[in-house]
Chain A
Amino acid sequence: MKKNVILIAAAVCMAAALTACGGSGTKTETTAKASEKAGAESSATETKAGESATGGKLVMVTNAEFPPYEFHEKNEIVGIDAEIAKAIADKLGMEIEIQDMAFDSLIPAVQTGKADFTAAGMTINEDRKKNVDFTDTYAKAAQVIIVKEGSDIVEPDNLEGKKIGVQTGTTGDIYAADIKDGDIKRYNKGMDAVMALTQDKIDAVVIDREPAKVFVKNNAGLKVLDKAFTEEEYAIAVKKGNTELLEKLNGAIKDLKDSGELQKIVDKYITAE
């Protein structure tokens, strides 16, 4: 009888071991595949970047959860940045491919050549300038504060010692870190921070003005404070040292500004108050 027990126990252990092996086996395989794919992709992008001198394809990365600058609609990434990028690509006689990823991965993606540029409502700041080159600015922006109606926070100074929700890696996150005794909650998406605010898990959200307006419109009982947290400017970022692409982009942005096309795109998404 004892033998049987040992046998069964051994069988169980073996089964467990086998399952464990099977599991980890497939896992490594997928990782290997994934890295192969990533490798293939990055080399593909490199050739793309090389081709870009004679036309071809531009790869843009963005975080498409940032209305009205970029968001998903009908299986497509649309918004101000997406349309500006398309207009620029048209001007340059190139195709554009837009990829969606987390905001804090955008600059690394551009740095490693996985993408040609990023247009993601990205504010020019000193730290970022050290890592990427920015084009001329194409939009003015601001970080604003969203609170619940009836909140005791009425101006930026009131944020001291409060629970503040931000989206990881945004300028709102970086500047909010300077708030005295601020308890910063970093969410992966702006919408998640806003939802936490509606559920009273945090006291305020610091985020870009235009998305803030969209979020407030879609959630009753919230408002944007009149006084902005910071004023700033958006620009497109390319890999450091890629002056060829930078000049092309700047030329195209200038053309779009001069012809009024840029303003048209902005007006399409942001209705005047």
Chain B
Amino acid sequence: MWEKLRDDFYQNFIVDDRWKYIVDGLQNTLKITFFAVLIGILLGFVVAIIRSTYENTGKLKILNAICSVYLTVIRGTPVVVQLMIMYFIIFAFHDPGQIFTAILAFGINSGAYVAEIFRSGISSIERGQFEAGRSLGFNYAQTMLFIIMPQAFKNVVPTLANEFIVLLKETSVAGYIGLQDLTKGGDIIKSRTYNAFMPLISVAIIYLIMVMVFSYLVTLLERRLHKSEH
């Protein structure tokens, strides 16, 4: 059995430098996830502020309507469909590169979920905090930024981390636009060696390790954030 495993390993990773498919794919997966997370946070932050402001003050009616449409459309359609629309329809006549297309598609997708996470964080902070800020002389934006947001952020860290874990794994559909991500790298090896076990299990383990490392970092962050409570 060990001999067969060693043989399979040799066939799937060593012959023709096949391990490069995995390494190249991993790089692309990390690249896409990292930048998509950044776009997601930025977009989610802005949308959450707009929606909360509308809820609290009734201002920004039009922006709020736009955000509602954005949330409905993005959360109402599968990410792989959005990815293909981005590649084959939105960028039909101009090619900004597959990686960029994927980053944009996943970033915009993630933004919708992050927005709702932030909004739930903001509404978890009691209104009294807001009033306190205003009575101390802060204006609306300052109250939001210096009083509400820091507390809200602490509340949403676990959910936010969950969203990024989901995002990392969702990028596995990037192969649909001919992009070679980690999953596709495994698929390519599988298509060369006709061996499903070795490439798929390796890919699964790599995702698992990435998520475990990330979860550990989040735990450290949470511990740090809770220090102030003691």
- Interface residue from A103, A127, A132, A186 paired with B188 (Cβ < 8 Å): A186
Given A108-B196, A127-B192, A187-B178, A16-B184 contact (CB < 8 Å):
no
A193 to B98, CA, bound (A): 13
Mostly, the B contact residues are helix
Q: A204-237: which have CB < 8 Å to B?
A: none
- Give Cα A174 to B191, complex, Å: 9
Which residues from chain A contact B129 at a C-beta distance below 8 Å? Answer: 5
Least CB distance, A31 to chain B, in whole angstroms: 13
Complex Cα spacing A131 to B12, Å? 14
Considering the chains assembled together, what is the distance between the CA atoms of A195 and B178 in angstroms?
11
Q: Once the chains bind, are A192 and B158 in contact (CB under 8 Å)?
A: no
A199 near B178 with CB under 8 A, answer no
- What is the 8 Å Cβ interface bit string for chain B, positions 186-208, against chain A (1 contact, 0 not)? 01101111111000000000000
Interface residue A201 (Cβ < 8 Å from any Cβ of B): yes
CA distance A188 to B128 in the complex (A): 55
B124 touches A104 (CB 8 A): no
Distance between B2 CB and nearest chain A CB, rounded to angstroms: 21
Shortest CB–CB separation between residue B202 and chain A, in angstroms? 16
A13 CA / B160 CA spacing, docked (Å): 12
Q: Is the CB of A20 closer than 8 A to any CB of chain B?
A: yes
Cβ contact of A104, chosen from B91, B178, B180, B190, cutoff 8 A: B190
CA distance A186 to B185 in the complex (A): 10
- How many A-B contacts if CB must be within 8 Å? 81
B219 within 8 A of A: no
Q: Is the CB of B125 within 8 A of A104?
A: no
Cβ-defined partner of A5 (8 Å) among B120, B126, B187: B126
Task: Check B190–A5 contact: CB distance below 8 A.
Answer: no
How far, in angstroms, from A174 to B190 measured CA to CA in the complex?
Answer: 12
Identify B92's interface contact among A12, A165, A174, A199, CB under 8 A. Answer: A199
Query: Within the complex, what minimum Cβ distance (angstroms) separates B217 from chain A?
Result: 19
Q: Which residue of A lies closest to B196 (CB)?
A: A108
Which residues of chain A are within 8 angstroms of B191 by Cβ–Cβ distance? 103-104, 168-169, 173
Additional pairs, 17, CB under 8 Å, beyond known A169-B188, A199-B93: A1-B128, A17-B158, A20-B162, A104-B187, A105-B190, A108-B190, A108-B195, A108-B196, A112-B196, A128-B194, A165-B178, A168-B188, A168-B191, A174-B192, A199-B91, A200-B93, A200-B95
